[in-house]
Amino acid sequence: MTGLVLGPLLRHVDEHGASLWVETDGPCRVRVSTPGVDPAEAVTFAVHGHHYALVRLEGLEPGRRYPYAVELDGVQVWPDEGSGLPPSVVPTLDHAKPLRLAYGSCRTSVSHDEKGNRTHGVDALRAFGLRMAGLTDSTHADDPDPDEPRWPDLVVFLGDQVYADETTEEMQDFIEQRRGLDTPPGKELKDYEEYAHLYRLAWSDPVNRWLLSTLPSQMIFDDHDVRDDWNTSQSWKDDMEATDWWHDRIVGGLSSYWVYQHLGNMTPSELADDRCWQEVLAHGDEPGWDAGPMLDAFAERTDQEPTAYRWSYVRDLGEQARLVVVDSRAARVLEPERRGLLDDEELAWLDDQLRGDVDHLLIGTSLPFLLAPGLHYVEAFGEALAGGAWGRRLAGPGESLRQVVDLEHWAAFQRTFTDVAEMVLEVARGERGRPPSTITFLSGDVHHSYLSTVKPPEGTHSRILQAVCSPIRNPLPRVMRFATAALSYGVAGPIGHVVARSAKVPDAPFEWRLVEGPWFDNNLAVLEVHGRDLRLWWATGCVDGDAHDRPRLARVADVTVPG
């Protein structure tokens, strides 16, 4: 009998439909049913011997919760009646209700016991899932949402859903049994098969599996989904391509990302335009057909020609909000003479998406657009130094500094940073439709959370914010927390402006400052729309007594941003 390996994951959901993704242990027909609605079915497709399906339910009503069941070849496999968790539901969107959006990044997959919590902290996602399931106490004084404990409408995972380069003991055991840890790339992932196992480890914990089955999710990658500092510079890429293992890594990373993450991001109309998905629909039910070679060729092409495919996407959430999710990794231009965080086509696409006529414009990007101001100018200086601003003799040391200290955020791509900043200012001035109340960058990556705000430039009518939530579960060691805070918000301040000016780095189009944070807890953040106002709160997992696998949700910070 065919069984369920992963899922169901509830992915793209709108007012009238929902996409559900599953991985099975063999070819089969997948059926999703809910009372009062015609069931939906799909035949699985194969990728390198693994089997998947994306099933689309239609004919739903806005603002309702639909309990559902999953069958494989007529045998019900979900919900898991013995799990002790509530039935999974599809909660459709209702744009007439205030939006509630959760987000975060950077999550490792280790055990939810005393050892795992000691080494990696409490999993904030698990604490959130237990709270949603009603299995933990919500009466504590530090509960983040005591007055209106309702579920988010969706969660946006902003990168590092899996760690291909910093593997856990469980992942290393699999690698050891498969090829040995002495075979390059050692403890890091090699190919699609190892990615498939990594996703299984990341998404199979019962509580998080239930959460992902009932909370719609959108995703975008960051560097650790492939490798630390992915696409930092042309020099970095040349070094990787000189190894005998990088080709299989990048092909496996991008093809598995399309299957496990990006496929569920797409709307029905986007799926209809996606060549890979149309190839799957055309051949997926043919006996023996495997999409692996097709997706490998696709992944190789998109790595070498970033303009061949767009990973970024946009979601309109009624008049309340517009969510633009930007790929800040794979669309980079690395040639030193025209270096950019986004290529010209990607930048033009983003230019089209950044507009007003909504109450709140949300820009999801794994890398913070606004770092601490001093650090911003240090990174800008690093780019200038590596580019020869102080002569070719210092360009080599500048490149080494860039890679060692991770100077590869938006600030290290000054041309693109300035272009996007000017776009945002045009939105805020009302030059692209009615100005939103807020323009908020939602980001992760840096393993600490904070809120920064832009000093309102003359003529603007929108508050411009940077709201970071990182990590979900992968905290910095305590000594690194102190160093990060001191360097980013202390030492980098006076140094950054001095060295940047010495390299003739221009001033940013606006000024900004830290208003809340930094916090170094494992966190999940929630953004709530209250008319023209925003509420942002960050929550962590807290263990009472010895209940290491039953963390409750505890408030870290709660900020209301008036419109």
> How far is Cα 431 from Cα 440, in angstroms, rounded to an integer?
18
**C-alpha atoms less than 13 angstroms from C-alpha of 544 in its C-beta half-sphere:** 10
When mean pLDDT is compared across 228-242, 397-411, 420-434, the lowest value belongs to 397-411
Tokens of 131: 């709270």
At residue 279, φ and ψ (nearest 5 deg) are: -65, -40
| 186-240 tens-digit pLDDT | 999 999 999 999 999 999 999 999 999 999 999 999 999 999 999 999 999 999 9
For residue 438, the cross-strand partners are 360, 463
Q: What is the pLDDT of residues 123-179, one digit of tens each?
A: 999 999 999 999 887 778 788 877 666 799 999 999 999 999 999 999 999 999 999
* More confident position, 385 or 102: 102
Q: How many CA atoms lie within 13 A of 382 on its CB side?
A: 24
Q: Identify the CA nearest to 57 among candidates 36, 75, 73.
A: 36
At 400, the pLDDT band (50, 70, 90 cuts) reads confident
Query: Are the beta carbons of 200 and 137 closer than 8 angstroms?
Result: no
State residue 59's pLDDT score: 97
Q: Are 254 and 329 in contact (CB under 8 A)?
A: no
Instruction: Provide the 8-state DSSP code for 340.
Output: B
Structural tokens at position 224: 């650790």
| 381 closest CA partner among 493, 484, 489, 498 | 498
| Residues of the chain above pLDDT 90, percent | 83
Give me the phi and psi of 227, to 5 degrees please. Answer: -170, 150
Give the whole-number percent of the chain exceeding pLDDT 70.
94
Please give the structure tokens belonging to residue 246. 């990088």
The structure's pTM equals 0.96
| pLDDT at residue 490 is higher than 70 | no
Tokens found for residue 60: 């739903």
- Report the run of H or E that residue 352 belongs to, with start and end: helix 344-353
The number of beta carbons lying within 10 Å of the beta carbon of residue 429 is: 16
CB of 520 closer than 8 Å to CB of 486: no
Of the chain, the end-to-end C-alpha distance in Å amounts to 56
pLDDT, tens only, 306-350:
999 999 999 999 999 999 999 999 999 999 889 999 999 999 999
Residues 434 and 356: beta-carbon distance below 8 Å:
yes
pLDDT, tens digit (0-9, with 9 covering 90-100), for 347-398:
999 999 999 999 999 999 999 999 998 888 888 877 876 776 666 775 676 6
Handedness of CA 227, 228, 230, 236 (dihedral sign): negative
Residues pairing with 54 in the sheet: 21
Residue 419 per-residue DSSP state: H
Angle at 102 between CA 202 and CA 366, to 5 degrees: 70
What are the residues facing 449 on neighbouring strands?
Answer: 519
226 φ/ψ angles, rounded to the nearest 5 degrees:
-120, -65
Q: How far apart are CA 226 and CA 449, in angstroms?
A: 23
Q: What are phi and psi of 478, to 5 degrees?
A: -60, -40
Q: Name residue 130's amino acid.
A: L
Question: 194: left (phi > 0), else alpha (psi -120 to 50), else beta?
Answer: alpha
Radius of gyration of the chain (CA): 23
134 within 8 A of 549, measured Cβ to Cβ: no
Tokens 């023996």, residue located: 288
Q: How does the average pLDDT of the chain come out, rounded?
A: 93
Q: Which amino acid is at 81?
A: E
Dump strand ranges (E) for 329-478: 360-365, 438-443, 449-454, 463-468
Q: Write the DSSP string, 85-131.
A: SPPPEEE---TTSPPEEEEE--B----SSHHHHHHH---HHHHHHHH
Q: Tokens for 236?
A: 């970095």
97 Cα distance to chain centroid? 25
Q: Which residues have a Cβ under 8 Å from the Cβ of 35 and sit 6 or more positions away? A: 66, 67
More confident residue, 149 or 471: 471
Closest CA to 166 of 113, 229, 103, 239: 229
Residue the block writes with tokens 């009624």: 318
Which of 200, 267, 250, 212 minimizes the C-alpha distance to 78?
A: 212
